[in-house]
Structure 1
Amino acid sequence: MSATWYECKVKYRKTHETGEQKVTTDTYLLDAVSYTEAESRITEEMKAYTNEDFRIMNIKVANFAEVHPFENSDRWFKSKVSLIALDEESGKEKKTNIYLLVQANDVKEAFENTTKAMETTMGDYSIPSITESPILDVFPYFTGEEEQLEKFNVLDKSENPKEEEEQTEETAAV
């Protein structure tokens, strides 16, 4: 199931490193099933982020096919990827554009990260443009199932049967 990403612009009073407070409008991305859920989720995220009053200025559906976070990166880049297919009837190349949001520190790294994200693609593609995105942070939707599976050691199975047996005995003792 693919996610529907919503771009949310939020206006609030932000305290800068210098201690100065200034009203700013920041853009955030989150996935949701509707505008109503997007509004609810961004409200919850912003309550955790700031104690100041804030206003949601705009919510719109973002045109990202995929979002790819990368470790040790602090900015988001919008990568335009042209998927190239050969039209059997006319014999001409047909390009279909998709947009990826990739996390990186600069444009060069964004290109490399886009290439990593496209590694599993079977067809030909090109990357005609990469631009820095105004998106400050991304809030993906988690169901909580991941935490439940980790809690019951379903995701973290040991390769050593003896070690696994000891873990089972410890769990039974608790």
Structure 2
Amino acid sequence: MSNWYQGKIRYQKVDEKDRTIKITEVYLVDAVSYTDAEARIYETVASNTPDFQLFGLSRMKISEVFFVESGSETWYKLKVNFISFDEKAQKEKRTPFNMLINAATPLEAYNLLVERLGTVEDYQITDINITNILEIIPYEKPEEKILKNGNFKPLAEVLGNA
């Protein structure tokens, strides 16, 4: 299960008319904790935005993020109600899930999500909202990051040579 955190940064920029304007950007990070999310936002943003301030970090309930390679940079949040039948209560039960997908228009977001969900269960897409998310930063395990940059061997191989 992913833990998604929405981080907002603010910085100042000089525009074409030599006016200083405040810019706010929103990032979505898949992280294990608030501290991890904050560190990863700083790591991502610091390379291209020199003097910024992280002024908001909150947990966001997202069950699935779909990245479409040919899609737009605009992210849509869709609320999907999965419908099941409760045998004990003899009633229809609706379980809501929030999902993100990148698309150019709300109609394209709807069609792309329907394509990805297929005919798994009965569901209704009840809300489609545009978000102000600039970038989504997926989770990378720390071990993978270390192994990419280091000269490490598996423990079994080291013990086998001893």
2:135 paired residue number: 137
> 2 CA distance for matches of 1:74 and 1:19?
28
Q: Give the drift of 1:22.
A: 2.0
Quick check: 1:48 aligned with 2:47? yes
Task: Mark the CA change 1:97 to 1:43 in structure 2 (over 3 Å): closer, same or farther.
Answer: same
2:92 is aligned with 1:93: yes
TM-score by length of structure 2 reads 0.80
Residue equivalent to 1:70: 68
- CA distance 1:49–1:113, change in 2 (3 Å): farther
Paired with 1:40 and 1:62, the residues of 2 have a C-alpha distance of 17
Indicate the larger mover: 18-27 or 63-72.
18-27
TM-score w.r.t. length of structure 1: 0.75
Number of aligned residue pairs? 145
Could you tell me which of 55, 58, 83 is aligned with 2:56?
58
Answering whether residue 34 of structure 2 is matched by residue 38 of structure 1, we say no
Q: Distance in 1 between matches of 2:76 and 2:89?
A: 35
Q: AA paired with 2:67?
A: P
C-alpha separation in 1, matches of 2:89 and 2:14: 59
Matches within 5 A, 1:146-161: none
Match of residue 102 from structure 2: 103
Aligned residue in 2 for 1:25: 24
Q: 1:83: which partner in 2?
A: 82
| Residue of structure 2 equivalent to 1:169 | none
Residue of structure 2 equivalent to 1:4: 3
SS in 1 for 2:39: helix
Q: Which residue of 2 aligns with 1:125?
A: 123
Question: 2-side partners of 1:7 and 1:87: how far apart?
Answer: 34
CA shift for structure 1 position 134: 1.4
Q: Any gaps of 5 or more consecutive residues in structure 1?
A: 150-174
Residues 71 and 15 of structure 1, relative CA distance in 2, 3 Å threshold:
farther
The whole-number CA distance in structure 2 between the counterparts of 1:105 and 1:5 is 23
Q: CA deviation at 1:64?
A: 0.5
Runs (5+) with no aligned partner, structure 2: 149-162
SS in 2 for 1:48: coil
Distance 1:57 1:83, change over 3 A: same
